[in-house]
Chain A
C-alpha cells in the first residue's frame, strides 16, 4: 500500500471547453494522460505547475497544498516542487548545458560544491555527461531532451510533469530517449508522482501504470492499461489503443449467439450472448482475433467480411506486427505478423476476407 502523493481535483473553463479532472497519483506511480490535441492535456500539467490557475479545486502533494480554491491557497510556480518538461525542452539558449542543469540549484542558493556534484551526477545519469560545456544550439534534439530531464531531476521534484517529452524527436532518437526515460522513472531516488502526457499509444502502454483518457477536457476513462485494453469505454479510447470497438444493438438471438447491428455503419456481427439486459451494447474485437485470407476458406467462423485493405501500418518499435485497416462493414482493424503480410502478399487496395469467431467478441453494456 503506497502513500497517496499527488491529490488532484481541478476545474477550469475555457472558451471552447471545460477541463475537469479528479484523481490521485501515488509515489513513484506514472499516470499517463492521453487525448487528442486540444483536449486539455497540456493545460492540466500547467495547472499543476502553477503556470495557470484553476477556476476551482485543490492540488496537493502529500501535506503540501499547492492550490486550494476553498482556503485561497495558490503557491506560485517557484514555490511548488514540480519538474515540468515542455515538449520543446525550453533549454535556456544563453547558458551552457551545465549551467542549464545548475539553474534550479543556483536559484535555491546551493553551495558550489553541492551544485558541481549534483549536476555532474544528473548529467551522467542521463548519459549526457560529456556535453556540459556545450550550448543548447550545439546539441541534438535527443540530447536536449535528456538535458531538460536532467535539469528537473537534479532538483528531486515531488511531481514530474512531462508534456509529450518524446514527441519532438525523430523515430530512432525517440526509441533511445524512451529507454533512458524508462530507466530514470524506474529509479527515481526520491518519492515522486509522475504525470505523463502523450498522444502515442505505445508510450501510454510503456509508461502508464495507469492511463487517463481526456476528451474535450473531461476524463472519459481512467484505469490500468489492462482495464483500458479489456474495456475501453469510449470509441476514442478504443481507437487510441488500436481496438475495434462498436456501439450497436442486439437485433436477434439464436442458441447463445446474438446478432448485433453496429451504428452508424449498419454492419452486423455475431457474438456470444451477454445475457439479460438492454439491447444497446458495446462490442469489442481485439485486432489479434481477426484472421485474414486471400480466398474465403468457408469455415466455421461466424463473422466473415470481405473488404479492401486501406492501410498497412507496422507497429512500433520493430514492426514485427502489422496493423491492417479494412474497408469492411463495420470497418475493422486486424493485427497480423509481418510474416503473414509477406506470405499473403498483403498490400493496400487488395481485397481480402477477414474472419473472427463469435467468442472473439467482447460484449458489454
Chain B
C-alpha cells in the first residue's frame, strides 16, 4: 500500500515535469507545417537574425575561450590572495538577471558610462552596435566556460604536469602539450555551453545593444519582435532555436568526451 502511494507520487511528479518541459517544445514543433516553416525561415528578417546570431555567438565563444582559459588556468592551478573574490566575480553573471547585466554594461561602456568618455575619445561607441551584442553575450556566457574549464584543468593529475616540467617543458609548453589536451573534454564542453548560452542571450543584449535588425537583432530578439505582429515568423524562429539548442546538447552528450558534460557544473539559462 505504502509502496503504491510512493509510486503514484513519483509518476505524478515525472508526468507534471514532463508536461512543463516537453509540452512547450511539442507545441512549437507542431504549430507550423514543414512547408510553412521553410517559407517563414526564408524571410529576410529571419535569415538576417540567424546570420547575426551565428556570427556574434561564435565570436563570443572564441573571445570567451581566449580570455577565459588564462583565468581558468589561474583558478585551477595557483593559490593567490583574492582568489575567492575572483572566483565569485566570474560566477556572478550566472545568478544575475541578464537585464541587470545589460544596465551594468550600459552604465560602464555607454555614452555617459564610466568608461564611455575614454572610449569616445578613442572614437569608439559601443551601445547599439554588433560589438555590444558580443560584449553582452561574453558577459553572460563566460562563467559557464570558466567553471567547466577550471574543473577540467584542476582534474588533470599533477604527476603529468610534473613529468612535463622535469622533461624540460616550460609551463607554457606544458600547458599546450599536456594540460590543455588532457583537460580538452571539459574545455570543449564549457565552450559548447557558452556558445549555447550566447545563442539564447536576450536580456542583456536588448538592454545594452538595442534591437536593431541587421546590427543587434539576434534570433531571440527577433522572436520577441515578431511575436508582436507575426506569430508564424516567431514560431519559425523559435523552432530553429529549439533545434539548435537540442543539437548542441545532443552533440555534447554523444561526443567522444560525452561523459564530461555531466562534469560541467552549470547549465546556461536560455531566455
A residues near B, CB below 8 A?
Answer: 49-51, 76-80, 82-84, 86, 88, 90, 92-94, 103-104, 106-108, 151-152, 155
Contacts and interface: CB of A to CB of B under 8 A. Distances in A.
A108 B173 CA distance: 10
A310 B182 CA distance: 50
Contacts of B162: 49, 51, 77, 84, 86, 90
A51 B166 contact: yes
Contacts of A49: 162, 166
Nearest to A80: B166
5 closest A-B pairs by beta carbon, nearest first, are A104-B167, A77-B165, A84-B166, A90-B159, A107-B169
Contacts of B160: 90, 92-93
B164 A103 contact: yes
A50 B162 CA distance: 10
A155 B170 CA distance: 15
A88 B159 contact: yes
Contacts of A104: 167-169
Contact of B170 (A84, A107, A151): A107
Given A78-B169, A93-B182, 9 more contacts: A51-B165, A78-B171, A86-B163, A90-B160, A103-B177, A104-B169, A106-B177, A107-B177, A155-B167
A90 B169 CA distance: 15
Given A90-B160, A93-B182, A78 B177 contact: no
B178 interface: yes
Nearest to A87: B159
Interface centre among B159, B165, B168, B177 (most CB of A within 10 A): B168
A107 B168 CA distance: 6
A93 B162 CA distance: 14
B181 interface: yes
A50 B167 CA distance: 12
Nearest to B184: A94
B159 A86 contact: yes
Interface residues of B, number: 18
B219 to A, nearest CB: 37
Contacts of B171: 78
Contacts of A103: 164, 167, 169, 177
A14 to B, nearest CB: 18
A78 B165 contact: yes
B168 A83 contact: no
Interface in B92-131: none
A94 B182 contact: yes
Contacts of B164: 92, 103, 107
B163 A92 contact: yes
Nearest to A91: B163
Contacts of B159: 86, 88, 90
Contacts of A77: 162, 165-166
Contacts of A80: 166
A78 B163 contact: no
Contacts of A92: 160, 163-164, 178, 182
A295 to B, nearest CB: 57
A10 B3 CA distance: 67
Contacts of A108: 168
A106 B182 CA distance: 18
A104 B159 CA distance: 15
Interface in B129-179: 157, 159-160, 162-171, 173, 177-178
Contacts of A50: 165-166
A108 B177 CA distance: 13
A130 to B, nearest CB: 23
A154 to B, nearest CB: 9
